[in-house]
Structure 1
Amino acid sequence: MWRLTLRTTLARRARLALTLLAVVLGVTFATGGLVLTDTSTRLLDDQFRTATAGVDLTVRDAVAFDSAMGVEVARDPLPADLTARIATVSGVAAARPQVRGQGLLEVDGTAVVPSGTSLLASWTPAPMGSFTIRAGRPPAADDEVVLDEDTARGHRVRLGDTVTVRATDTARLRVVGLAGFGDRGGLPNSTVALVTLPSAQRLLRLGTGVSEVAVVAAPGVAPDELRDRIGAAVGVDYEVATSRDIAAAGAATVRDQLSWLQLVLLALAGAALLVGAFLIANTFSIVVTQRTRELALLRAAGATGGQVLRSVLGEALLVGLTASTAGLALGVAAATGIRNLARVFGVPLPAGGLVLTSRTVLVAFAVGVLVTVGSAVGPARRAAAVAPVAALRQAAAARTGRIRAVAGALAAAAGLAATAAVLAADAPVPLLGVAALGAVGGLALLGPAITPALVRLVGRPLAAAGVPGRLATDSAARTPRRTAATALALALGLALISYVAVLGTSVKSSVRQTYAEVITADHLVESARNEMLGGLSPAVYDRVSRLPEVAVASRLRYGHWRDGDMTNALTAVDPATLPRVTSLHLTAGSLAALDGGGIVLAEHVARDRGLAVGNDLSMTFSRTGTRTLSVVGLLRDGDARALATDYLIALDTFARNYSEEMDASVLIRTADGTDRAAAERAIKAALADTPTAQLRDQAAAVAGRTQAIDQVLGLVTVLLMLAVLIALLGITNTLALSITERTAEIGLLRAVGMTRRQLGWMIRAEAVLVAALAGVLGIVLGVGFAAATVRALGRDAPTVLAVPTGRLLVVLAVALAAGLLAGLLPARRAARLDVLAAIGTP
């Protein structure tokens, strides 16, 4: 039987080619996601290990937590005498002060704004320094700078040229050297400016303070032992950490920022494989039906039902193994493509060689084989049940079982009940995922029962167009199980695209509407890079607020705080000026009371925590540890969303608990009688020395806030097209297989006068009909669950449902056009059938 299985598979390799391709694409997606994740992890680990190479310990200001939401917290500078104290500790071979901070480069008057950091650091020679001179020499005077080789090459900077470095202070420095980082020419997506220690202290206004002290242990002294000695010498106000711990923490911080991409890739891989599973099951079901006589003859010749079962599953196993091998190879290549695609959408990933682990290989084969064999179990069981007498007659048309229909109705009802529970009660939003699975499962089971009616309804325009359209509609309705499985595979991909489109548009519309209602400022100044914690120098506020064209300027700052095991964000505001540039609605308490060191909460936070005005909230800050703030007001949820967080404190409270001094936004109301154009010119002139500060109107401000949403949704939509591609292959595969099954029917149609052209249009019309059915089902499912999600999210903050009708119509049109293309090859094959030979086919 195994030899027969192998021969059967090879003899019908064209029949399984498209099914094989579907599995290959699914495995490729899963493998590519894993390779990309492993590669990013390895490269980040290597990067941070390189950054700490040659250093055993690092002494920094102590904080309650190192990072939050993928961002490292700022630390206070260390006193100048600390380095000398550390150097006297027994076992210390060397101790060197280091300074690092943000320093924007300007080349020929043009700001160099990378997607990552603009690093300004003091030069540290080897072996304690992580940068090595590739050309020129290290900086020796305070007016000299060393740039990373990548930045110099990218902006045509040569030794001897002069560049501008803008930190807290600004200086023009002469380039005396070019540096590399490990085996690279610099840090990924960053610029690096290395200067002398006094120059770094001056530019960052640290006085005699330093950022950290790098320590090298004496020979024979273990770093862990030396850490304890230094800790005892300097006290609990300072953190002494080993280089390996700092490297691991730094890599983990960056990985946190990219973790969402791994989840997206794995989720989309699951979607692609689910669509592929429908295609595989459909293909094997058609194949088994077509081989009924062959399988019955095997049973008549003495083969047992178990042998037939193993034969069909063996065929699936061969397909799965072949597809997994090809998918693994393509997945490695796809990782590079996904990485480049992510960069196009503004998601910077580290560059370097790809990493293929044994885990990825095992997952590739497990996924490919399990999906293929699992999808073939049902058809294999039906094949094993074929009676020998079936060889003597034509196979009967498949019937829809009542048990299947009842099970489908129950699954769909369960999905509707879960959706209703989320909408009507306080059930968790993730329950909608369970509801979606119930709806998809119900459709899969109910599909054969409801497909004939749906096909005739959707196919009315085709039926009215002529005989080929009517025949196509009848053909699709006559084989409901096949049509339903093929359409549902495409519907799943289109449903996901529709869901993403509606949800993204709704969130953006809600942000835009809320922002317009709450923010009444005439202008805003924000960082062009949309940094999470700001990016505006305090000098921006100082200059803008002094302009005669400006009546009031109010600044916002953002910070993170630890809430048990969770991390939350907060907004720092000026209670005196904020009401003049916003329209806030407090339902209890007073914004002015923030000056006493209290906190204002969004209504839903107070409700969930059981807090009211006068209660206390315990908060852990990285710099000052756990503090208790009194609740002095409750803010309407939509207003809190406009200010980006659910927690508001005063700028004075922020200064006591945070080291960060960067503003996120400056809200501006112009003076009465001032011309808008004149105010804009004055503000832009005040911002001339701060290239990353950008003057925006409300539309631009909303665009900056929703940029991340656009990036994620754009990337997800492009990647979802893979699932749609797999489903379209299913249409091609199903129609190609059905041509063999309908050979006699096609021959008879040709014999009674149907032309090749009409026959081709009939097959293509059937493909378009399946795509149209899938489009309607997919868009209805996607929009329905997106509406439920928006409604559920609206429990915490007002969220409006916005349906991008134009985009959804484009999705439907693309699906129909793709369906037409999917029918080209099957139509061509049908048109080429010999009429007499076709009529004689049993």
Structure 2
Amino acid sequence: MWRLTLRTTLARRARLALTLLAVVLGVTFATGGLVLTDTSGRLLDDQFRTATAGVDLTVRDAVAFDSAMGVEVARDPLPAAVPDRVGAVPGVATARPLVRGQGLLEVAGRPVVPTGASLLASWVPAPVGAFTVRGGRPPVADDEVVIDEDTARSQRIGLGDIVTVRATDTARLRVVGLAGFGDRGGLPNSTVALVTLSSAQRLLRLGSNVSEVAVVAAPGVVPEDLRDRITAAVGPGYEVAPSRDIAAAGAAAARDQLGWLQLVLLALAAAVLLVGAFLIANTFSIVITQRTRELALLRAAGATAGQVLRSVLGEALLVGLTASAAGLGLGVAAATGIRDLARAFGVPLPEGGLVLTPRTVLVAFAVGVLVTVGSAVGPARRAAAVAPVAALRSAAAARTGRVRVVAGALAAAAGLAAIAAVLAADAPVPLLGAAAVAAVVGLALLGPALTPALVRLIGRPLAAAGVPGRLATDSAARTPRRTAATALALALGLALISFMAVLGTSVKSSVRQSYAEVITADHIVESARNEMLGGLSPAVYDRISRLPEVAVASRLRYGHWRDGDATRALTAVDPATLPRVANLHFTAGSLAALTGGGVVLAEQVARDRGLGVGDQLPMTFSRTGTRPLPVVGLLRDGDARALSTDYIISLDTFARLYSEEVDASILIRTADSVDRAGAERAIRAALADTPTAQLRDQAAAVAGRTMMIDQVLGLVTVLLMLAVLIALLGITNTLALSITERTAEIGLLRAVGMTRRQLGWMIRAEAVLVAALASALGIALGGGFALAMVRALGRDVPTVLAVPTGRLLIVVAVALTAGLLAGLLPARRAARLDVLAAIGTP
């Protein structure tokens, strides 16, 4: 039987080609996602290890936590006496003071704005320093700078050129060297400017203070013992950490920013494999139906039901193993393409060689084999049930059993009940996931029973167009199980696209509406790079607030704090000026009460925590540890959304709790006597020396806040097209296989006068009909769950439903066009059948 299985599979390899392709694409997606995230993690680990390779210990200001939401927290600088005290500890071979901060490069009057950091640091020679000079020499004078090779190459900077470095202060410096980082020409997606220690201190206005001290232990000294000595010498206000721990923490913080991408890729891989599973099950079901006589003859010749079952599953196993091997190889190659695609949507990932781990290999084969064999179990059991007498008669058409209908109705009812619970009660939003599973199961089970009526309803325009359209509608309705499975595979892909489109558009519309209702400023100044914690120097606010054209300027800052094991964000505002550029609605307390050092909460957060005005909220800050802040006001949820967080403190309180000194937004109200154009000219002139500061109107400010949504939505939509492609291949596969089954019917149609052109249109119309059915189901399913999600989110934050009608119509048009193209090959094959031979086919 195993030899027969192998020969049968090889003899019908064309029949299984598209099934094989579906599994290959699913495994490719899953493998590519794992390879990409493993590679990014390894590269980030290598990058941070390189940065601390020559250092045993690092002395920094002590903080309560190192990073939050993927961003390392700022630390206070160290007094000038600390490096000397560290250097005097017995066992210290080297104690190098380091200074680092942000310093934007400007070349020939043009700012160089990378997607990552603009690093300004003091030069430290190897082995303590991670950078090595590869051309020229290190900086020795305060007017000299070393640039990383990557930036020098991309910006055509040569030795002797003059560049401008903009930090807290600005300086024009002469390039005296080009540096590399490890075996690379610089840091990924960043620019690096290395200057003397005194120059870095001056540009960052640190005086004689430093950022940290890099310590190298003397030969024979154990770093752990030296750490205890240094801690005793400098006191508890400073952190003495092994370089490997700092490297690991930095890499972990960087990986946190990419965590969402891994979840997206794995979720999409699951969607692709689910669509592929429908295609595989449908293909094997059709094949088993076509092989009824062959399997019955095997039973008549002595094969047992178990042998037939193992034969069909063996065929699926061969397909799964072959597809897994091919998908693994393609997944490694696809990782590079996904990385380029992510970069095109504004998600920078580190460059470097790809990493293939044993875990990825095991996952590829496990996924490919399990999906293929699992999808073939149902058809294999039906094959094993074929009676020997079936070889003597034609197979009866499959019927939809009552048990299947009842089970489908119960699954659909469970899904609807879960949705109702989320919408009407306080049921958790994740319950929608269970509702989605129940809905898909219900559709899969009820599909054959519902398909005939749906096909005839959707196919009315085709039926009215002529005989080919009527025949196409009848053919699709006559095989409801096949049509339902093929349409549902495509519907799942379209449902995911519709869900993302409606949810993304609704969130963006809600942010836009909240911002427009609350923020009354005439202009907004923000960083062009949309940094999480801001990016505007305080000098920008100083210049703008002094303009005669500006009546009031109010700035916002953002910070992170720890809430138990969770990390949350807060907004810092000026209570005196914010009411003049924002329309805030308090349900209790007031904004003015923030001057006393308290916190304002969004109304929903206060309800969830059981807090009111006068209660204390313990908040843990990296710089000061845990501080209880009194609740002084409750703000309407939509107003809190416009200010970006659910927790608001004053700028004065922020200064006591945080080391960061950058603004995120400056809200501007112009003077009554100044027209808009004149105010814009004056503000732009004030921003001339700050290339990253951008003047925006409300639409641009909202676009900056929703940019991440656009990036994720665009990336996910493009990747979901792979699932749609697999489903379209399923239409081609199903129709191609059905041609064999309908050979006699096609021959008869040709014999009674149907032309090849009409026959081709009939097959293509059937493909379009399946695509239309899938579009209706997919958009209804995706849009319905998006509506439920929006309503559920609206319990906490006001969220409006916004349906992107134009985008959904484009999705339908693309699906129908693709369905038409999917029917080309089957139509061509049908049109080429010999009429006499087709009529004689049993």
Q: Which residue of 2 aligns with 1:101?
A: 101
Alignment map for 1:697-736 (pairs within 5 Å): 697-736=697-736
Q: C-alpha distance in 1, partners of 2:692/2:708?
A: 18
Give, in angstroms, the shift of residue 182 of structure 1.
0.5
- Is residue 2:609 matched to residue 1:609? yes
Q: C-alpha distance in 2, partners of 1:35/1:599?
A: 44
Give, in angstroms, the shift of residue 88 of structure 1.
1.4
Q: Which residue of 1 aligns with 2:87?
A: 87
Give, in angstroms, the shift of residue 469 of structure 1.
0.4
Q: Find the residue that maps to 1:833 and give its secondary structure.
A: coil
Q: C-alpha distance in 1, partners of 2:56/2:445?
A: 62
Q: Which residue of 1 aligns with 2:489?
A: 489
Q: Find the residue that maps to 1:572 and give its secondary structure.
A: strand
Q: Which residue of 2 aligns with 1:148?
A: 148
Give, in angstroms, the shift of residue 559 of structure 1.
0.2
- For 1:217, give the aligned amino acid: A
Alignment map for 1:305-454 (pairs within 5 Å): 305-454=305-454
Q: Which residue of 1 aligns with 2:635?
A: 635
- For 2:774, give the aligned amino acid: A
Q: Which runs of 5+ in 2 are unaligned?
A: none
Q: Which residue of 2 aligns with 1:243?
A: 243
Q: Find the residue that maps to 1:395 and give its secondary structure.
A: coil
Give, in angstroms, the shift of residue 553 of structure 1.
0.3
Q: C-alpha distance in 2, partners of 1:227/1:416?
A: 61
Q: C-alpha distance in 2, partners of 1:221/1:808?
A: 67
Give, in angstroms, the shift of residue 114 of structure 1.
0.2
Q: C-alpha distance in 1, partners of 2:625/2:205?
A: 26
Deviations 1:274-295 (A, max 9, x none): 0000000000000000000000
Q: Find the residue that maps to 1:239 and give its secondary structure.
A: strand
Give, in angstroms, the shift of residue 236 of structure 1.
1.1
Alignment map for 1:37-116 (pairs within 5 Å): 37-116=37-116
Count residues in correspondence: 842
Instruction: Give the share of equivalent positions with the same residue, in percent.
Output: 88
Deviations 1:218-262 (A, max 9, x none): 111222221122112211100011111011000000000000000
- For 2:409, give the aligned amino acid: A
Q: Find the residue that maps to 1:428 and give its secondary structure.
A: coil
Deviations 1:520-578 (A, max 9, x none): 00000000000000000000100000000000000000000000000000000000000
- For 1:834, give the aligned amino acid: D
Give, in angstroms, the shift of residue 394 of structure 1.
0.3
Q: Which residue of 1 aligns with 2:781?
A: 781
Q: Find the residue that maps to 2:706 and give its secondary structure.
A: helix
Deviations 1:294-331 (A, max 9, x none): 00000000000000000000000000000000000000
- For 1:44, give the aligned amino acid: L
- Is residue 2:674 matched to residue 1:686? no
Q: Find the residue that maps to 1:415 and give its secondary structure.
A: helix
Alignment map for 1:242-261 (pairs within 5 Å): 242-261=242-261
- Is residue 2:653 matched to residue 1:653? yes
Q: Which residue of 2 aligns with 1:797?
A: 797
Q: Find the residue that maps to 2:662 and give its secondary structure.
A: coil
Q: C-alpha distance in 1, partners of 2:281/2:290?
A: 14
Deviations 1:751-802 (A, max 9, x none): 0000000000000000000000000000000110000000000011110000
Q: Which residue of 2 aligns with 1:234?
A: 234
- For 2:406, give the aligned amino acid: V
Q: Find the residue that maps to 2:257 and give its secondary structure.
A: helix
Give, in angstroms, the shift of residue 134 of structure 1.
0.7
Q: Find the residue that maps to 1:667 and give its secondary structure.
A: strand
Q: Find the residue that maps to 1:194 and give its secondary structure.
A: strand
Give, in angstroms, the shift of residue 82 of structure 1.
0.6
Q: C-alpha distance in 2, partners of 1:427/1:212?
A: 49
- Is residue 2:172 matched to residue 1:172? yes
Deviations 1:641-696 (A, max 9, x none): 00000000000000000000000000000001211100000000001110000000
Q: Find the residue that maps to 1:730 and give its secondary structure.
A: helix
Of residues 242-251 and 86-95 in structure 1, the stretch that sits farther from structure 2 once superposed is 86-95
- For 2:321, give the aligned amino acid: L
Q: C-alpha distance in 2, partners of 1:329/1:221?
A: 48
- For 1:196, give the aligned amino acid: T
Q: Which residue of 1 aligns with 2:460?
A: 460
- For 2:113, give the aligned amino acid: V
Q: Which residue of 2 aligns with 1:118?
A: 118
Q: C-alpha distance in 2, partners of 1:236/1:14?
A: 73
Q: Find the residue that maps to 1:349 and give its secondary structure.
A: coil
Q: C-alpha distance in 1, partners of 2:83/2:549?
A: 49
Q: C-alpha distance in 1, partners of 2:496/2:221?
A: 58
Give, in angstroms, the shift of residue 43 of structure 1.
0.4
Q: Which residue of 1 aligns with 2:672?
A: 672
- Is residue 2:29 matched to residue 1:3? no
Alignment map for 1:816-835 (pairs within 5 Å): 816-835=816-835
- For 1:240, give the aligned amino acid: V
Q: C-alpha distance in 1, partners of 2:824/2:96?
A: 71
User: RMSD across aligned C-alpha pairs, in angstroms?
Assistant: 0.4
Q: C-alpha distance in 2, partners of 1:589/1:22?
A: 60
Q: C-alpha distance in 2, partners of 1:105/1:304?
A: 77
Q: C-alpha distance in 2, partners of 1:220/1:347?
A: 45
Q: C-alpha distance in 2, partners of 1:658/1:768?
A: 61
Q: C-alpha distance in 1, partners of 2:409/2:375?
A: 22
Give, in angstroms, the shift of residue 208 of structure 1.
0.3
Q: Find the residue that maps to 1:629 and give its secondary structure.
A: strand
- Is residue 2:696 matched to residue 1:696? yes
Q: C-alpha distance in 2, partners of 1:170/1:12?
A: 73
Q: Which residue of 2 aligns with 1:592?
A: 592
Q: C-alpha distance in 2, partners of 1:428/1:102?
A: 43
Q: Find the residue that maps to 1:184 and give its secondary structure.
A: coil
Give, in angstroms, the shift of residue 148 of structure 1.
0.2
Q: Find the residue that maps to 2:187 and give its secondary structure.
A: coil
Give, in angstroms, the shift of residue 89 of structure 1.
1.2
Q: Which residue of 2 aligns with 1:620?
A: 620
Q: C-alpha distance in 1, partners of 2:460/2:508?
A: 37
Q: Which residue of 1 aligns with 2:571?
A: 571
Q: C-alpha distance in 2, partners of 1:598/1:58?
A: 35
TM-score by length of 1: 1.00
Q: C-alpha distance in 2, partners of 1:140/1:712?
A: 46
Q: Find the residue that maps to 1:493 and give its secondary structure.
A: helix
Q: C-alpha distance in 2, partners of 1:767/1:225?
A: 74
Q: C-alpha distance in 2, partners of 1:86/1:20?
A: 65
- For 1:836, give the aligned amino acid: L
Q: C-alpha distance in 2, partners of 1:250/1:313?
A: 49
Alignment map for 1:798-813 (pairs within 5 Å): 798-813=798-813
Q: C-alpha distance in 1, partners of 2:22/2:319?
A: 11
- For 1:817, give the aligned amino acid: T
Give, in angstroms, the shift of residue 743 of structure 1.
0.4
Q: Find the residue that maps to 1:397 and give its secondary structure.
A: coil
Q: C-alpha distance in 1, partners of 2:235/2:754?
A: 93
Give, in angstroms, the shift of residue 136 of structure 1.
0.2
- For 2:56, give the aligned amino acid: D
Give, in angstroms, the shift of residue 516 of structure 1.
0.4
Deviations 1:24-82 (A, max 9, x none): 00000000000001100110000000000110110000000000000110000001011
Q: Find the residue that maps to 1:219 and give its secondary structure.
A: coil
Which stretches of structure 1, 4 residues or longer, exceed 6 Å deviation after superposition? none
Alignment map for 1:163-242 (pairs within 5 Å): 163-242=163-242
Q: C-alpha distance in 2, partners of 1:224/1:765?
A: 75
Q: Find the residue that maps to 2:186 and give its secondary structure.
A: coil
